[in-house]
């Protein structure tokens, strides 16, 4: 009788291989399968799905988690490229699940594709791997840190629940990845809500103008328009109602339109130019 193969679980992030958030994600799924940690060597937040030129250096080793040895590979490159090279060069097969996070800082609204956390999950999903992108709301001063002040316990409990669900049942039809955002004051008992990704930005780039009229952009800051914020959105769930947000996402970038009607409109537009 052939021994049943354990699920293979990839854990990645954009905060770097030493992140306590990544360690929390590894720990919470350690008993669910064979876990590999594949992540950037250093902090790579905000790198989106970038693919820097060159063949990145790979540092192979192990992480000791609760007495267990976990395969660990750190790449000197972006999160998405780390995922791609981990899959193509090192993992024994395509994973049954990819988890990106747990991120220091929430990823909400229409700017989420700036996030290395989200785009590492998108990269895994592009290989047909069910993926989770997990983020914990923190103050901005922690976004580029590896601070032990942040407690990932509650966020890890939701990652584990989603991981168990996906491993047992797969992704819902039409869903390629799930984006999980956990409020900073959440507990394992905080309610969950399925949400849409808001069309609003959550972070904006503040601009100042000096006496000569020259503009300077100063990092980023939260800016939510409550009057137009969609009640069913990820921003509303986390920022207003303080519940856990789970947003189903797809890598299908084609707009949901009536293709024949659009073709007729484009044809008419071309004819009007004659």
Residue 153 lies in a domain: yes
In terms of Cα–Cα distance, which of 94, 252, 255 is closest to 173? 252
Name the strands in the sheet holding 177-182, side by side, starting at the edge strand that comes first in the sequence. 58-65, 68-75, 34-40, 8-12, 97-104, 131-136, 177-182, 244-249, 192-194
CATH number at residue 53: 3.40.1210.10
Element (H, E) at 203: strand 203-204
Residue 106 lies in a domain: yes
Q: Is the pLDDT of residue 128 over 80?
A: yes
Residue 210 lies in a domain: no
Helix (H, G, I), strand (E, B) or coil at 262: helix
d(CA 94, CA 98): 10
Residue 25 lies in a domain: yes
Residue 105 lies in a domain: yes
> Are the C-beta atoms of residues 162 and 28 closer than 8 Å to each other?
no
Domain that holds residue 109: 8-199+228-253
pLDDT tens, residue by residue, 140-162: 999 999 999 999 999 999 999 99
pLDDT tens, residue by residue, 179-190: 999 999 999 999
Residue 204 lies in a domain: no
Residue 203: CB atoms within 10 A of its CB come to: 22
Residue 31 lies in a domain: yes
Total structural domains within the chain: 1
pTM of the full predicted structure? 0.94
Residue 145 lies in a domain: yes
């Amino acid at each position: 009788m052939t021994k049943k193969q354990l699920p293979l679980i990839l854990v990645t992030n954009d905060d770097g291989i030493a992140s306590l958030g990544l360690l929390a994600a590894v720990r919470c799924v350690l008993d669910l399968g064979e876990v590999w940690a594949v992540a950037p060597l250093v902090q790579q937040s905000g790198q989106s799905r970038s693919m820097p030129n060159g063949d990145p250096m790979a540092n192979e080793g192990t992480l000791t988690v609760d007495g267990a040895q976990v395969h660990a590979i750190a790449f000197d490159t972006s999160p998405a490229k780390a995922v791609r090279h981990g899959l193509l060069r090192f993992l024994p097969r395509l994973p049954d699940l990819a988890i990106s996070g747990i991120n220091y800082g929430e990823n909400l609204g229409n700017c989420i594709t700036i996030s290395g956390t989200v785009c590492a999950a998108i990269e895994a999903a592009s290989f047909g791997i069910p993926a989770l992108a997990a983020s914990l709301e923190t103050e901005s001063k922690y976004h580029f840190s590896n601070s032990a002040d942040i407690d990932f316990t509650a966020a890890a409990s939701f990652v584990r629940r989603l991981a168990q669900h996906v491993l047992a049942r797969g992704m819902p039809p039409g869903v390629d990845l799930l984006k999980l955002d956990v409020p900073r004051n959440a507990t394992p008992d905080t309610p969950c809500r399925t949400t849409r990704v808001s069309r609003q930005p959550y972070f904006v780039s503040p601009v100042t103008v000096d006496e000569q009229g020259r503009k300077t952009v100063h990092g980023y800051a939260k800016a939510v328009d409550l009057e137009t914020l969609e009640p069913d959105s990820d921003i509303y769930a986390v920022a207003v109602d303080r519940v856990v947000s789970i947003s189903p996402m797809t890598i299908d970038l084609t707009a949901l339109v009536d293709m024949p009607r659009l073709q007729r409109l484009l044809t008419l537009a071309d004819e009007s130019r004659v």
